């Protein structure tokens, strides 16, 4: 919903958003305001790299899906661009497989988030709520507990430990090897 008290709050251009921080920083647009994220530590970065490798291999076998890495912006609500650690989007959502130059004007089908020690309960809760309200399937990966939770927008969540392949009911053929995600 637009902020009527501050109509400029939700009208940041993509160029203004890109200029909001330095190259080494990560940020998202949340409720019309730039929100900087803590730098990720090495374990967090390694899990994301391992996740990207598995998602890339999945998309090679299943061209009906396109994978995106961290810092790819998706619109999850007016004035909110979220940049999940990784994402899957059905290719059919990009007519002719043409990708926009800026953020996607829709949420991802699946958002992958790797929890890090710097995440606050408030930020995670707000992000979970926004994904939920946008109909996004969420995968929350916890490297410290060596497991993951799949949160569906309309049914019960599923929990996976590192000894079980992570599957998502709406993504046929995806079976993430969690043990491999946590390997150094």
Q: What tens digit of pLDDT does each residue of 35-82 get? A: 656 667 788 889 999 999 999 999 999 999 999 998 898 988 877 878
**Residue 2 — pLDDT band, cuts 50, 70, 90?**
very low
Spatial strand order in the sheet of 26-30: 33-37, 26-30, 80-82, 74-77
pLDDT of 145 over the 90 cut: yes
What pTM, to 2 d.p., does this model score? Answer: 0.85
Q: Which of 37, 21, 33 is nearest to 117 (CA)?
A: 37
Q: Which domains does the chain have, with CATH numbers?
A: 40-181 (3.90.1570.10)
Mean pLDDT, range 21-43, rounded to an integer: 66
* pLDDT value, residue 178: 97
């Amino acid at each position: 919903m637009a902020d009527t008290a501050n109509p400029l709050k939700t009208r940041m251009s993509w160029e203004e958003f890109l200029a909001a921080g330095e190259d080494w920083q990560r940020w998202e647009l949340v409720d019309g305001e730039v929100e900087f994220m803590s730098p990720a530590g090495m374990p967090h970065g390694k899990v994301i790299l391992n996740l990207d490798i598995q998602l890339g291999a999945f998309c090679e076998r299943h061209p009906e899906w396109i994978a995106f890495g961290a810092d790819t912006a998706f619109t999850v609500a007016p004035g909110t661009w979220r940049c999940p650690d990784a994402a899957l989007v059905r290719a059919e959502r990009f007519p002719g497989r043409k990708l926009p130059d800026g953020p996607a004007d829709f949420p991802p089908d699946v958002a992958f988030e790797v929890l890090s020690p710097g995440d606050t309960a408030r930020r995670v809760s707000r992000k979970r709520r926004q994904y939920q309200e946008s109909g996004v399937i969420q995968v929350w990966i916890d490297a410290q507990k060596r497991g993951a939770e799949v949160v569906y927008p309309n049914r019960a969540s599923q929990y996976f430990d590192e000894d079980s392949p992570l599957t998502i009911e709406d993504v046929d053929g995806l079976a993430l090897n969690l043990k491999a995600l946590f390997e150094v």
